[in-house]
């Protein structure tokens, strides 16, 4: 697929170096991502903001340029160097190397093509900023416009992209995004950390590839990947809108037995377990990767990759519950027990002392003792060796979008979706935001695992599993007299 590029901005040399430009060493997440880059697995983060109105191209270019100026950490490119250097580093540039804003031709297939580019065409790390913003008009009949922001995940993450779009909306619409920043996620309560329940034993479950359908949209496999799977043409993605599941009432002290995030984790676990049973695969423990962002979401939010990854087992501790959850209609009480158990575990993980973003192993892999070329080879070997112990699925929930994303005469956002890479061996990610009382979900998968038809069935299974987590009043209804 041809890359969508913009005009080069005068005064900067793409991929070059500038002795006066500040340099920032790669963080742990950046370096591990850099080691694992593969053409067959585009390391992109895609963000979609749907607006009811149209945007003026000149005003939007100005607003986005001003947002980049206010968040200079986004204006970065990788410093070129030899394999034997000890560190990767970012060079922060005073201006963009290329124009990051694009206006593709409008039309009924414009949004589908923009999504396809977001999954397959990764902005290069050699040019600042490593992102692309497309302003899409789906056509005169559809109305409105869609902002499609594509980030290189080695450099930037979804909260960074949303903050950048929030500042763009602020400048374009002249509406501030409210008072100063609150934490992106509630901080754990002070006190002694809770004890973690014992972790399940055995290899984590894998989402079973679907081989029953011979659909024409499944590409032919290519050469073997490092983890033993076959290469395929990038990722697929399916966006959906679902109701937020009903939550239980809070106790007098304001606490709740479980949160919407716990419901999402349990729904993802049920989805995987039920999918595998339908494909005749024995039950295994479901482990989910859950990113947690401790940054504030205000104008001074640090840009880059700022999340830490928690690995959460979401499976029943009681073997009897495995059978109850495996029924055609899972037992409601077993679902509630799994919700409470998951809430206990996530609370304990969040209240535990901070650990490196990718754990001690990630910190060890990125120590600048050996040259980066050697560390890259070691990281890939570790990835291959640990493929069988890798988590089942990435579940990333940004929660309620913290910004109004009000573009003035272009309107306020009515839906926000984002998706993260579907890196193997898990080969899938499930990402969620919420607006009002609606969840915007994105299932993204490696085409080495599924075709579009199979992914749609998996997505439907998630919707049904999410409904199972909805709270239902156990008190019997009184009949009228």
Reply yes or no on whether the pLDDT at 43 is more than 90. yes
Reply yes or no on whether the pLDDT at 232 is more than 70. no
DSSP state of 438: E
SS (H, E, C) 16-28: CCCCCCCEEECCH
Residue 319 phi, psi dihedral angles, 5° rounding: -55, -30
Q: What's the pTM?
A: 0.88
Reply yes or no on whether the pLDDT at 302 is more than 80. yes
**Gap between the Cα atoms of 311 and 313, Å rounded:** 7
* Confidence (pLDDT) at 214: 43
CA atoms within 13 A on the CB side of 113: 17
Least confident of 45-49, 154-158, 233-237, 256-260: 233-237
On whether the CB atoms of residues 45 and 444 are closer than 8 A, the answer is no
Percent of the chain as helix, strand, coil, to the nearest 5: 30, 20, 50
pLDDT confidence bin for 366, thresholds 50/70/90:
confident
| Angle, CA of 192, 397 and 175, to the nearest 5° | 105
pLDDT confidence bin for 193, thresholds 50/70/90:
low
Distances (CA, A) of 259 to 288, 307, 342: 16, 20, 10
CA neighbor of 285 nearest in space, from 231, 345, 242: 345
DSSP state of 212: S
Q: Is 344 in a helix, a strand, or coil?
A: helix
**Gap between the Cα atoms of 343 and 266, Å rounded:** 10
pLDDT confidence bin for 1, thresholds 50/70/90:
very low
Query: For 115-134, what is each residue's pLDDT tens digit?
Result: 999 999 999 999 999 999 99
Write out the E strands in 34-73. Answer: 44-51
**Which tokens sit at 257?**
């037995």
Least confident of 72-86, 167-181, 297-311, 425-439: 167-181
Pairing between β-strand 393-400 and β-strand 428-435 as defined by DSSP bridges = parallel
* Confidence (pLDDT) at 223: 35
Residues in the chain: 481
Query: Distance from CA of residue 221 to its chain's centroid?
Result: 26
Distances (CA, A) of 318 to 2, 200, 270, 418: 52, 11, 15, 35
Within 8 A by CB and 6+ apart from 193, the residues are: 348, 351, 352, 353
Q: Is 371 in a helix, a strand, or coil?
A: coil
- Taking the CA atoms of the chain, what radius of gyration do you get in angstroms? 23
* Confidence (pLDDT) at 211: 57
More confident residue, 425 or 331: 331
Least confident of 151-165, 339-353, 399-413: 339-353
Residue 194 phi, psi dihedral angles, 5° rounding: -70, 150
* Confidence (pLDDT) at 207: 95
* Confidence (pLDDT) at 481: 39
* Confidence (pLDDT) at 385: 87
**Gap between the Cα atoms of 444 and 452, Å rounded:** 10
pLDDT confidence bin for 253, thresholds 50/70/90:
confident
- Portion of the chain with pLDDT greater than 70, in percent: 85
pLDDT confidence bin for 328, thresholds 50/70/90:
confident
* Confidence (pLDDT) at 192: 54
CA atoms within 13 A on the CB side of 475: 5
**Gap between the Cα atoms of 394 and 429, Å rounded:** 5
Pairing between β-strand 101-102 and β-strand 131-136 as defined by DSSP bridges = parallel
**Gap between the Cα atoms of 72 and 419, Å rounded:** 24
Reply yes or no on whether the pLDDT at 2 is more than 50. no
Reply yes or no on whether the pLDDT at 333 is more than 70. yes
More confident residue, 468 or 138: 468
* Confidence (pLDDT) at 13: 40
**Which tokens sit at 402?**
């913290």
* Confidence (pLDDT) at 478: 46
pLDDT confidence bin for 221, thresholds 50/70/90:
very low
pLDDT confidence bin for 99, thresholds 50/70/90:
very high
Query: For 336-345, what is each residue's pLDDT tens digit?
Result: 999 999 999 9
**Which tokens sit at 306?**
């700022």
* Confidence (pLDDT) at 286: 95
**Which tokens sit at 70?**
């206010």
**Gap between the Cα atoms of 150 and 156, Å rounded:** 10
* Confidence (pLDDT) at 141: 74
* Confidence (pLDDT) at 176: 67
**Which tokens sit at 96?**
């963009």
């Amino acid at each position: 697929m041809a890359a969508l590029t913009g005009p080069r901005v005068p005064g900067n040399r793409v991929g070059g170096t500038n002795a006066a430009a500040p340099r920032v060493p790669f963080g742990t997440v950046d370096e591990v991502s850099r080691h694992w880059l593969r053409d067959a697995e585009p390391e992109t983060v895609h963000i979609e903001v749907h607006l009811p109105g149209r945007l003026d191209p000149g005003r939007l270019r100005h607003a986005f340029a001003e947002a980049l100026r206010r968040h200079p950490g986004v204006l970065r490119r990788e410093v070129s160097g030899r394999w034997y250097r000890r560190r990767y580093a970012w060079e922060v540039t005073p201006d963009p190397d290329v124009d990051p804003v694009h206006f593709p031709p409008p039309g009924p297939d414009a949004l589908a093509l923009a999504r396809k580019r977001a999954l397959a065409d990764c902005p290069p790390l050699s040019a600042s900023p490593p992102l692309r913003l497309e302003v899409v008009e789906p056509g005169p009949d559809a109305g409105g416009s869609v902002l499609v922001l594509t980030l290189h995940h080695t450099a930037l993450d979804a909260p960074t992209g949303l903050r950048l779009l929030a500042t763009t909306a602020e400048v374009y619409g002249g509406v501030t995004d409210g008072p100063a920043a609150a934490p992106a996620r509630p901080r754990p309560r002070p006190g002694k950390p809770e004890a973690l329940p014992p972790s399940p034993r055995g290899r984590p479950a894998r989402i079973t590839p679907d081989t029953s359908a011979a659909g024409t949209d499944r590409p032919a496999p290519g050469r073997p990947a490092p983890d033993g799977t076959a290469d395929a043409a990038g990722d697929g993605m399916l966006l959906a809108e679902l109701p937020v599941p009903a939550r239980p009432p809070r106790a007098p002290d304001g606490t709740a037995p479980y949160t919407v995030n716990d419901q999402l984790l349990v729904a993802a676990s049920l989805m995987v377990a039920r999918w595998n049973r339908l494909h005749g695969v024995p039950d295994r423990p479901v482990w989910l990767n859950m990113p947690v962002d401790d940054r504030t979401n205000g104008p001074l939010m640090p840009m880059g990759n700022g999340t830490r990854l928690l690995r959460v087992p979401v499976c029943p501790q009681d073997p009897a519950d495995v059978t109850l959850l495996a029924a055609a209609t899972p037992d409601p009480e077993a679902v509630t027990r799994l919700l409470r158990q998951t809430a206990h575990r996530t609370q304990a993980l969040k209240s535990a002392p901070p650990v490196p973003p990718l754990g001690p192993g990630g910190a060890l892999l990125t120590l600048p003792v050996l040259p980066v070329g050697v560390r890259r080879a070691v990281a890939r070997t570790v990835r291959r060796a640990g493929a069988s112990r890798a988590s089942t699925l990435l579940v990333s929930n940004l929660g309620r979008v913290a910004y109004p994303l009000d573009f003035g005469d272009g309107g306020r956002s009515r839906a926000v979706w984002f998706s993260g890479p579907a890196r193997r061996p898990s080969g899938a990610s499930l990402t969620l935001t919420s607006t009002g009382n609606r969840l915007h979900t994105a299932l993204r998968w490696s085409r080495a695992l599924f075709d579009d038809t199979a992914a749609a069935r998996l997505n439907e299974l998630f919707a049904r599993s999410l409904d199972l987590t909805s709270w239902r009043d156990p008190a019997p209804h009184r009949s009228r007299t």
